[in-house]
Amino acid sequence: MPVVIVDGQEIEIGADERLNCIEAARRAGAEIPHYCWHPGLSVVASCRMCLIETGQRDAASGKITMVPKLVPGCQTPVKDGTVIVTKSDLVTSSRARVEEALLIDHPIDCPICDKAGECLLQDYHFQHGQAERRADLHPFTSRKRDVGPTVTLFVDRCIMCTRCVRFTREVAGTAELMVTSRGAKEEIDVFPGFPLDNKLSGNVVDVCPVGALGDKDFLYQQRVWFLKREANVCGGCSAGCSIYTEHNQDTVYRLKPRENPQVNAWWICDEGRYGWHHLHDPARLVEAGRRRPAERGRPTEYEPVEWADLVVRLRDDLTRAGRLAVAVSPMLTVEEAWMLCAVARSIDPQAYLAVGHLPTTDSDETFPGGFTIRAEKCPNRRGVEAVVALFDPAVHGWSDLLAHVGGGNADAAWITAGYPTSGRGPWIDTETAATFANLSCLVVQDMFDTPLSQLASWRLPAAGFAERAGTWVNVAHRAQAFEQAIRPPAGVWPEGRLFWNMLGRRGLYDPSAVRRQLAESASLAALAGEIPAHGVDLRIHQLA
Amino acid sequence: MQPFKPVLLEAVGVPDGNTLASYKSRGGYAPLEQTLAGRQSADVVEMVKSSGLRGRGGAGFSTGLKWTFLPKDHPGPIYLCVNADESEPGTFNNRILMEDDPHQVIEGIILSSFATRASTAYIYLRYEYPTAWHRLQAAIDEAYAAGYLGKNIRGSGFSLDIYLHRGAAAYICGEETGLIESLEGKRAWPRIKPPFPAIEGLFRKPTVVNNIETMACVAQIARRGVDWFKSIGVPADPNNPRDPGSYGPKLYCLSGHVEKPGCYEAPLGITARELIDHFGGGVWRGRRAKAVIPGGISMGLMTESELDTPLDFAGPGRVGCLGLGTAAVVVIDDQTSIVDFLHNSCRFFAHESCGQCTPCREGTSWSLRMLERIKAGKGRLKDLDLLAEIGNTMGMMPGSTICGLADGAAWPIKNAIKKFRGEFEDHIKRTNPSGWMVTDPVPALQIVGAH
């Protein structure tokens, strides 16, 4: 195995690994500061923050020959015998000078900058900069430039690492951003009439190491040190991108991509990034209710029901009604889906189980950098199908369910939905909803009022993506487990908690207990044990 | 001083010397025809290699050696880029060659393309040279008409197209990878190396980048022979195995405070004093030289006492300059302020820094701001230390930048501060009697833009 020597410490790297000095040093626990280098973008070696000393150890004699000048760590690949020095006086003074140079024109407006607290310029200056300013004092400037619908550019904060420019060229393929002017007058800009407006635009804010690119959606909303982050999975489409939900006091403030080489690499799309506002939409259903008997001339009313009562009454009502049909929503987690099926079959052993409505758009959209936005706008179709298959090998879909109910084969239906449709139209139209009009009992579990929920005899609120815990299986059969990030609004039980209680289980809802049980079936065996941060491929154990 | 008959500048002053007929009457294109008729491309490479020709663009790298870095048996295309983006201040030798003897350049390009197996050559021409543009284009058209360019030249099976590309006036386009990026239609930000252009250059194909004067030299070597070329100049230093010698004639651009500025051809190794006195008619108005730039301002400064330094590839380096550069000798007389010189130099590099690498982008503009302040009578002695530190830490040589522009910006600073520190200190103390000793940061001046 090739051996790399980092600050005197020998580390082994894989024989086929192609690492640069930054990556190799990181393995040895030495952090080489860098701005322009990003593992997902091309190497430009222009910020010069990662300058280090390198050398080569001769395999035969063991003699080390050093390169007589500084080299950029990002641009220098390591091989067997590469010597990396990250802490010499030459390196330290070079970093201090780069920091000093970057701050010559920087407004140093951290108190009013959204990036403060997670800013590389701040961090590196603290670690590598010098306390004293030697350059002339400049009058304060802070120019803002609107570069697109999602992003504001704070021109003077920019350090010209060009990560954003490379992102729009290499990953999004839209190339809206560019560098104008020359030398110290250089600025990031867009061409007049061609704003930064693509479906991945929010990522430029993530790649920006300083406070130059501000996300309009998050700007001035919250200081980052108040935010707590929970590793989560985006529910926007079947890609199932790994994300962090960043929240404070049960309010989500932003979503950030979580690096996952198996799913989304470093990126997420804008649809997912800004797709959390429905969680805090005032129009959300937040109360479980039983429909009052209709009175002529009065609108439909729901009488509030305590959840503890509901667990009993719902079962009674459904048992009384007779033949049950259930739509298992692809927004549910694998665990919730399984418990729902189990509850349904315990009420009616012949209950008709079908995968719920699958919201879709025209087609998948793949960007030049390989990132794909899926047409299927739900996160867990694969998982729900696998669960339903455990109960009924002929996995029915939503249209099968409509035909089943429309053919008069059911007396009761339990429709789980939970589609994040805030601001868009309801997911179901009045005509389709009418299929369920003549049932003796209709349970609808949804986040928003729809033509269907208006027919419901039981109208139950649903939880949003950050409010549930469990496992989703994406389009590539990768199962990712996640914890609940925030509590749902007062009065809402996440589906899992309701099903857990209806199954008569004790204690708090525990997804991992359900998962252990699920892992006993062959098709879901991969769910056994702890699920790693990057998820696990459900097909692995089946192939083996 | 031995009398020397110009070779590269043979056509200067000849009526219609820029035409094909005139060039052929001087023996032009005959070597090309012989080469195409009977020689292999490897022979031409060997000829140039053995002549000891070193690139005339500034770095002085062996031309023949550079050609051998091209991958063997490459399926092609291989490109030849001819660097005519002559923008080093004080330099105008390429201009003379392109305006007065474009066919000499074109013959050199054809020979070099034949040697490197390139079937396409691009001339990257500086925007500010309209006459050179017209004359080069006319010469290229003539060469096509005469069958020296195009498909299957003279029945040899060798084909070559030359495209004349006009730049948009940026100094950085003279850096070879900046030139390549610009030719590709991109912002001229120099590329990181490796890969070097010989492996992956223009359009990611093997590419040779050579200077106009180098091309003219190739034509002359083909016409007059390797021995003729090696008989001129300074032989390799036997005590220095890394010195390949400085052979051949060189065009020196003499300007500044001399009686007769101009482009003069002389053997490599002529001293600056000989050049000024013999060709330039001495420093103007009977004055003495205070400093001389040996090869474009990025090479730094020689003092009056260093004027006997030979202007070959090794000479200027021995007195602390960066090198011979473009051999553009600029004379600064003893009544000129070196503060003004450095201010002008810093203004140029702050304006021309491409802005890619932090140390150069910020270092060039910081040094300009300090010089602005020193000139405005608000200088401090501490500024000289800061300037020296910028000069010593900015550039490819300390490893802090991608390309050599920063070295070129750093050398005048560190040479001026080192060799003329007394004058700077006098200026600062005289103009800022109450503040020269301040060491805390002072408010910046409003900079009036360069242009």
Measured between alpha carbons, how far is A493 from A369 in angstroms, rounded to an integer? 40
Q: Do A112 and A157 form a contact (C-beta atoms < 8 A)?
A: no
Q: Which residues of A touch B386 (CB under 8 A)?
A: 134
Match 């025809």 to its residue by tokens.
Answer: B33
Distance in Å from the first CA to the final CA of chain A = 29
Which tens digit of pLDDT belongs to each residue from A145-184?
999 999 999 999 999 999 999 999 999 999 999 999 999 9
Measured between alpha carbons, how far is B17 from B23 in angstroms, rounded to an integer? 7
H or E segment and range at residue A315: helix A307-321
Compute CA A361 distance to the chain's CA centroid, rounded to the nearest angstrom.
Answer: 20
A182 touches chain B (CB under 8 A): yes
Same domain as B347, residue B300: no
Nearest-neighbour CA in chain A from B227: distance (Å):
38
Nearest neighbour of A70 by CB, restricted to B398, B442, B444: B398
What's the total number of domains in chain B?
A: 3
Nearest neighbour of B355 by CB, restricted to A133, A139, A182: A182
* Interchain contact, A134 vs B441, CB within 8 Å: yes
DSSP calls for B126-160:
-TT-HHHHHHHHHHHHHHHHTTSSBSSGGGSS--B
Residue B44 domain flag: yes
* Interchain contact, B402 vs A46, CB within 8 Å: yes
Percentage of the residues of chain A whose pLDDT score is greater than 90: 91
Q: Do B22 and B14 form a contact (C-beta atoms < 8 A)?
A: yes
CA atoms within 13 A on the CB side of B21: 2
Which tens digit of pLDDT belongs to each residue from A458-489?
999 999 999 999 999 999 999 999 999 999 99
Nearest neighbour of A71 by CB, restricted to B351, B355, B399: B399
* Interchain contact, B386 vs A134, CB within 8 Å: yes
Q: Which residues of A touch B350 (CB under 8 A)?
A: 183-184
Pairing of strands A441-446, A458-461: parallel
Query: Which among B196, B231, B266 is the end of a domain?
Result: B231
ipTM above 0.90, yes or no: yes
Q: Which residues of B touch A70 (CB under 8 A)?
A: 398-400
Which CATH number belongs to the domain containing residue B326 in this structure? Answer: 3.10.20.600
Other beta carbons less than 10 A from residue B450's beta carbon: 14
* Interchain contact, A186 vs B444, CB within 8 Å: no
| Closest listed residue to residue B108, CA positions, set B63, B145, B74 | B63
Pairing of strands A302-304, A228-233: unpaired
Residue B321 domain flag: yes
Residue of A nearest to B373 (CA): A136
Residue B111: pLDDT over 70:
yes
Which tens digit of pLDDT belongs to each residue from A328-380?
999 999 999 999 999 999 999 999 999 999 999 989 999 999 999 999 999 99
The residue ranking higher by pLDDT, B225 or A422, is: B225
Query: Average pLDDT, stretch B97-125?
Result: 96
Nearest neighbour of B397 by CB, restricted to A43, A69, A98: A69
Measured between alpha carbons, how far is B95 from A330 in angstroms, rounded to an integer? 72
Same domain as B182, residue B82: yes
Residue A417: pLDDT over 50:
yes
Residue B207: pLDDT over 50:
yes
Measured between alpha carbons, how far is A356 from A416 in angstroms, rounded to an integer? 7
* Interchain contact, A49 vs B358, CB within 8 Å: yes
Q: Looking at this protein, which amino acid is placed at residue A241?
A: C
Query: Average pLDDT, stretch B35-55?
Result: 93
Domain that holds residue B208: 20-231
Q: Indicate the range of A141-150, A534-543, B247-256, B293-302 predicted with least confidence.
A: A534-543
Measured between alpha carbons, how far is A395 from A150 in angstroms, rounded to an integer? 41
Same domain as B88, residue B193: yes
Nearest neighbour of B361 by CB, restricted to A45, A139, A186: A186
Same domain as B144, residue B106: yes
Query: Which backbone phi and psi does A114 adopt, to 5 degrees?
Result: -65, -25
Q: Which residues of A touch B354 (CB under 8 A)?
A: 182-183
| Closest listed residue to residue A333, CA positions, set A279, A281, A387, A276 | A387
* Interchain contact, B350 vs A51, CB within 8 Å: no
* Interchain contact, B444 vs A98, CB within 8 Å: no
Domains of chain A, with CATH numbers? 3-87 (3.10.20.740), 289-293+301-543 (3.40.50.740)
Which tens digit of pLDDT belongs to each residue from A501-542?
999 999 999 999 999 999 999 889 999 889 999 999 998 755
> Crossing angle for the helix pair B338-352 and B421-431, nearest 10 degrees?
100
Q: Which residues of A touch B351 (CB under 8 A)?
A: 182-183
Which tens digit of pLDDT belongs to each residue from B358-388?
999 999 999 999 999 999 999 999 999 999 9
Largest CA distance in chain A: 98
CA atoms within 13 A on the CB side of B56: 31
H or E segment and range at residue A416: strand A412-416
Same domain as B197, residue B78: yes
pLDDT of residue A496: 96
Residue B26 domain flag: yes
A184 touches chain B (CB under 8 A): yes
In this prediction, residue A293 has a pLDDT band, given cuts at 50, 70 and 90, of: confident
Residue B441 domain flag: no
CA atoms within 13 A on the CB side of A35: 29
Q: Which of A37, A76, A170, A182 to mutate to test the interface with B (most CBs of B within 10 A)?
A: A182
Residue of A nearest to B170 (CA): A182
Cα B30–Cα B35–Cα B41 angle in degrees, nearest 5: 150
| Closest listed residue to residue B162, CA positions, set B137, B190, B129, B188 | B137
DSSP state of B38: H
Query: Average pLDDT, stretch B433-451?
Result: 80
Match 């009056």 to its residue by tokens.
Answer: B304
Q: How much is the mean pLDDT over chain A?
A: 94
Same domain as B286, residue B223: no
Measured between alpha carbons, how far is B451 from B444 in angstroms, rounded to an integer? 19
Nearest-neighbour CA in chain A from B190: distance (Å):
10
Nearest neighbour of B400 by CB, restricted to A70, A102, A185: A70
Query: Average pLDDT, stretch A240-267?
Result: 96
Residue of A nearest to B357 (CA): A46
Other beta carbons less than 10 A from residue B375's beta carbon: 17
Query: Which backbone phi and psi does A343 adopt, to 5 degrees?
Result: -60, -45
CA distances from A519 to A504, A541, A544, B238 (A): 21, 11, 15, 79
Residue B1 domain flag: no
Same domain as B214, residue B155: yes
Nearest neighbour of B443 by CB, restricted to A71, A136, A160: A136
A89 touches chain B (CB under 8 A): no
Give the strand order in the sheet containing A470-473: A470-473, A478-482, A536-537
Q: Do B419 and A113 form a contact (C-beta atoms < 8 A)?
A: no
Q: Which residues of B touch A184 (CB under 8 A)?
A: 350, 353, 355, 361-362, 364-365
Residue of A nearest to B403 (CA): A46
DSSP 3-state percent helix, strand, coil across chain B (nearest 5): 45, 15, 40
Predicted model pTM:
0.94
Residue B76 domain flag: yes
Residue B262: pLDDT over 70:
yes
A58 touches chain B (CB under 8 A): no
Cis peptide leading into B71, omega within 30 of 0?
A: no
Query: Which residues are B124's β-sheet partners?
Result: B83, B165
Residues with Cβ within 8 Å of B317's Cβ and at least 6 positions away in sequence, in order, are: B323
Other beta carbons less than 10 A from residue A298's beta carbon: 8
pLDDT of residue A246: 97
Nearest-neighbour CA in chain B from A47: distance (Å):
5
| Closest listed residue to residue A517, CA positions, set A339, A382, A333, A326 | A339
Q: Which residues of A touch B192 (CB under 8 A)?
A: 43-45, 72, 75
pLDDT of residue B451: 45
CA distances from B410 to A308, B348, B352 (A): 78, 12, 13
Residue B177 domain flag: yes
pLDDT of residue B1: 63
* Interchain contact, A159 vs B442, CB within 8 Å: no
Q: Do A149 and A219 form a contact (C-beta atoms < 8 A)?
A: no
Percentage of the residues of chain B whose pLDDT score is greater than 70: 98
Four-residue CA torsion sign, B422, B427, B429, B435: negative
pLDDT of residue B449: 53
Query: Average pLDDT, stretch A137-144?
Result: 89
Match 């005339």 to its residue by tokens.
Answer: B56
B394 touches chain A (CB under 8 A): no
* Interchain contact, A182 vs B354, CB within 8 Å: yes
Measured between alpha carbons, how far is B446 from A206 in angstroms, rounded to an integer? 34
A131 touches chain B (CB under 8 A): no
pLDDT of residue B243: 86
* Interchain contact, A183 vs B364, CB within 8 Å: yes
Same domain as B272, residue B211: no
Q: Looking at this protein, which amino acid is placed at residue B450?
A: A
Same domain as B259, residue B219: no
Pairing of strands A242-248, A228-233: antiparallel
Query: Average pLDDT, stretch A239-246?
Result: 96
DSSP calls for B158-176:
--BEEEEEE--S-GGGGSH
Which CATH number belongs to the domain containing residue B148 in this structure? Answer: 3.40.50.11540
pLDDT of residue A423: 65
Measured between alpha carbons, how far is A503 from A500 in angstroms, rounded to an integer? 5
The residue ranking higher by pLDDT, B396 or A1, is: B396
Same domain as B310, residue B388: no
Residue A250: pLDDT over 80:
yes
Same domain as B226, residue B291: no
Residue B448 domain flag: no
Q: Which of B191, B200, B358, B373 to mutate to test the interface with A (most CBs of A within 10 A)?
A: B358
pLDDT of residue A96: 96
Helices (H) and strands (E) in chain A, counts: 14, 26
Residue A140: pLDDT over 90:
no
Same domain as B221, residue B75: yes
Which CATH number belongs to the domain containing residue B425 in this structure? Answer: 1.20.1440.230
Nearest neighbour of B393 by CB, restricted to A46, A97, A135: A97
Residue of B nearest to A186 (CA): B355
Q: Which residues of B touch A47 (CB under 8 A)?
A: 357-358
DSSP calls for A336-386:
HHHHHHHHHHHH-TT-EEEE----B-S--EE-TTS-EE-SB--S-HHHHHH
Measured between alpha carbons, how far is A485 from A389 in angstroms, rounded to an integer? 29
Nearest neighbour of A47 by CB, restricted to B358, B398, B445: B358
Residue A139: pLDDT over 70:
yes
| Closest listed residue to residue B248, CA positions, set B7, B34, B443 | B7
SS3 for B205? coil
Q: Go through B407-433 and write b for each residue having 16 or more CB atoms within 10 A of its CB, e for each that does not.
A: bbbbbbbbbbbebbeeebeebbeebbe
B154 touches chain A (CB under 8 A): no
Query: Which among B231, B264, B290 is the end of a domain?
Result: B231
Q: Go through A335-348 and write b for each residue having 16 or more CB atoms within 10 A of its CB, e for each that does not.
A: bbbbbbbbbbbebb
Q: Number of residue pairs across A and B with CB atoms under 8 Å?
A: 104
Nearest neighbour of A51 by CB, restricted to B356, B363, B400: B400
* Interchain contact, A183 vs B402, CB within 8 Å: no
Would you mind telling me the total number of residues written for chain A in this entry? Answer: 544
| Closest listed residue to residue B234, CA positions, set B323, B293, B315, B296 | B315
In this prediction, residue A543 has a pLDDT band, given cuts at 50, 70 and 90, of: low
A47 touches chain B (CB under 8 A): yes
Q: Which residues of B touch A43 (CB under 8 A)?
A: 192
Query: Average pLDDT, stretch B188-208?
Result: 95
